[in-house]
A and B are shown apart, each in its own frame.
Chain A
């Protein structure tokens, strides 16, 4: 084939890839067609990669093939991680995606300089800044999720000023480079500052805000790919980046709404710093606690049970025990559903994946808006490792830092049972009045063990 004909084949393969990407997302609208979506996405990506290998600009193959194999060798284990490790894996893949986009931009800069136009320099500069900050930001997020780094927000005085000056500094360096693209040391400085800004951006953010942050980093990773598409005039990158960026952006908006907070508040608010009305906590209040036998007895007598899982269920890896509980109760003819808050866990959809892993049918997993109307008719709401998302103060106490946040109305159920390790306040340090209600029973213990004990009691024949 002539070079021009080859180029056309490549271009058409990219168009085919774009069609595949769009269909992949379209078919993800329902679990029934989603598998088909993944398949078409795989085919589309495969076709695009294969076609690119025939690009006449590609002259030496040996190292490309070797690095593709290395990439696959890294990718396979990352694709086989346990479901509980999915949030950190996702953060890591944002880091990899942003890293490659940044490195390509850096490569293009060194190839092009000093003959870059102002506009090209602007595109490359922005692309490299977004890619670099997303890379380090995602690494920090992954470190926090893997608990290599502390999940608590790390803050200091004047933090926001320092962070924003770093971002401003990177942009100023880029502007200077637009006039003098040959100042390569400024380019290096710009990269370093952008990398630092990524660290500063995510370090102050606590674990409970991770669903928003991970979505936001998702969106940045997408936009860095789209910007790279602008740099290289590659439409397939522009489309893939725009789709990914839009996806991350929508998810961040959903997460923010679910916490009744704004982007700026998540990024610069350092939730942990919010001072709780401390006086309230001082007064001694009593809680009622119950043993696994009592809990099993109450559950066995119920007609309708709603289980509300949270991050604590993921930490205790209790999802398989929860499944046994679900089976045990369903066998007795009890109606069991799950109420899932959008920000339960550490990333969007985290609880759904864990429960699906444990083989719980997805039509039993209901979103907050779907389940909230059911609580008044619910005999038992069983909260497993969730805290703030069930805090009625969000509805009733204007002084509460989470006032206005949409919650699961478990307090409207006839009986509430909360499995919790101890009486410590939730992640954000906010008291939960739910625990002191007359209808609430606290089940103290590790989620996995406690649910296991209830299951044994139920199996022991409690009728």
Chain B
């Protein structure tokens, strides 16, 4: 098995466990924003799309890369935007307000 795979597997397992611990602590109140936020973070695949499109190897790979750029970047922009909007709506009760 290639060394790259092994090191990626290490990272994957550590990140997976970390994700578990982090997400367990997210209040159920915020499960919808959690989903839209992780969606926006996941849109980081846009960097791979940019590189595939930018390498310009074949017409097909460039075209696929460009579609992927648009699809993932729309997720990044839309995901952060809606998470931000949702979180603005959550406010504490009057007792907690200054």
Contacts and interface: CB of A to CB of B under 8 A. Distances in A.
A4 interface: no
A348 B31 contact: yes
A384 interface: no
Most A CB contacts (10 A, CB to CB) among B42, B80, B88 go to B42
Interface string A32-56: 1011011001101100110011010
A282 interface: no
Interface string B39-71: 111111111111111111110111011111111
A206 interface: no
Contacts of A247: 19, 23, 34-35, 38
B60 to A, nearest CB: 5
A265 interface: no
B41 A21 contact: yes
A165 to B, nearest CB: 28
A390 to B, nearest CB: 18
A218 B38 contact: yes
Contact of A235 (B8, B37, B90): B8
Q: How large is the interface on B (under 10, 10 to 19, 20 to 34, 35 or more residues)?
A: 35 or more
Contact of A67 (B16, B20, B70, B79): B70
A59 B89 CA distance: 43
B34 A28 contact: yes
Most A CB contacts (10 A, CB to CB) among B41, B55, B81 go to B41
B69 A78 contact: no
Contact of B27 (A30, A86, A251): A30
A63 B53 contact: yes
A174 B1 CA distance: 18
Interface stretch (A287-295, A350-358, A436-444, A448-456): A350-358
Nearest to A234: B48
Contacts of B76: 45, 49, 71, 75
A101 B27 CA distance: 29
A342 B29 CA distance: 10
Contacts of B55: 57-59, 111
Contacts of B67: 67, 99-100, 103
Interface string B67-98: 11111111111111111111111111111100
Contacts of A348: 28, 31-32, 34-35
Contact of A119 (B1, B50, B85): B1
A79 interface: yes
Given A22-B22, A67-B66, A110-B60, A72 B54 contact: no
Nearest first, the 7 closest Cβ-Cβ pairs linking A and B are A79-B81, A58-B54, A71-B73, A75-B77, A246-B19, A349-B31, A361-B93
Interface of B: 1-2, 4-5, 7-9, 11-12, 15-16, 18-20, 22-58, 60-62, 64-96
